[in-house]
């Protein structure tokens, strides 16, 4: 849906009695919009603990909405990346901001699917970042009592490999490794990445064990599927999609 329509629709839902019965929300804007991002922020603040499932698409570069709804059990974040550096600063900022904004202590699953669109950056892949920006996020009190499962997927829109995708495969698995000390971690990389050039390290070289890594293929399951839907088949829930 056009980002122009997101703000008025969310304002209307926020004033409607149905907001108290809204348990699942999907928002996939067609383009980045600061106004739409602010509208999502305000809506999640108002919805309280009734909303327990959100599926959100964001853009890099672009506005990074908060995930502050206090009742969330499942989060799916689709990140469309159109421009970044070889160190992935913009992508890491978006992920760090999103994860640091979480307030729910009921989280069961966080799915992060990163789509790297066709573009290039400088050819050199950095040895590694000096500091892991995600380490402090993973140690937050909100994750101390119940550690949700994190599923990280790295995908590409083009059949061509680019230096930014090389950097993502080399860097991101290691940055997420600290989560293994708290909860379940699954990393899914583009199909056939192990058969690519020597520029991409093996799973062990990136600091994440092979059993944590899956190859993505064209028939992979949707990471955003709600595994808990079968728990309460009789519950009537409102679903919103924008």
DSSP H helical ranges for the chain: 3-15, 34-47, 89-100, 135-138, 163-176
For the stretch 65-105, pLDDT in tens is 889 888 999 999 999 998 888 788 889 999 999 999 999 98
The whole-angstrom separation of Cα 150 and Cα 76 is 10
For residue 61, cis peptide bond before it (omega within 30 degrees of 0): yes
**Positions of the chain with pLDDT under 70:** 1-3, 118-130, 160, 192-242
For the stretch 130-150, pLDDT in tens is 678 888 899 888 888 889 999
Q: Quote the domain boundaries for residue 80.
A: 3-241
pLDDT of residue 217: 41
Closest to 74 measured CA to CA, from 148, 164, 161: 148
The whole-angstrom separation of Cα 50 and Cα 57 is 21
Domain count, the chain: 1
């Amino acid at each position: 849906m056009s980002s122009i329509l997101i703000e008025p629709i969310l304002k209307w839902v926020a004033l409607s009695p149905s907001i108290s019965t809204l348990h699942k929300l999907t928002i996939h804007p067609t383009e980045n919009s600061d106004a739409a991002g602010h509208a999502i922020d305000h809506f999640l603040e108002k919805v309280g603990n009734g909303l327990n499932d959100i599926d959100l698409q964001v853009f890099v570069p672009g506005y990074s909405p908060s995930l502050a709804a206090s009742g969330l059990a499942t989060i799916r974040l689709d990140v469309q990346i159109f421009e970044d550096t070889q160190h992935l600063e913009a992508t890491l900022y978006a992920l760090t901001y999103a994860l640091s904004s979480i307030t729910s202590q009921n989280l069961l699953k966080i799915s992060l699917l990163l789509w790297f669109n066709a573009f290039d950056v400088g050819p050199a892949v950095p040895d590694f970042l000096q500091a892991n920006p995600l380490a402090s996020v993973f140690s937050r009190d909100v994750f101390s009592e119940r550690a949700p499962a994190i599923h990280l997927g790295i995908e590409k829109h083009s059949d061509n490999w680019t230096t930014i995708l090389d950097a993502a495969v080399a860097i991101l698995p290691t940055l997420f490794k600290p989560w293994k000390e708290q909860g379940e971690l699954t990393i899914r990389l583009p199909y056939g990445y192990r058969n690519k050039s020597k520029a991409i390290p093996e799973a062990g070289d990136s600091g994440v064990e092979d059993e944590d890594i899956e190859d993505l293929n064209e028939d992979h399951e949707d990471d955003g599927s709600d595994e808990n839907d079968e728990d309460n088949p009789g519950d009537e829930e409102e679903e919103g999609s924008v």
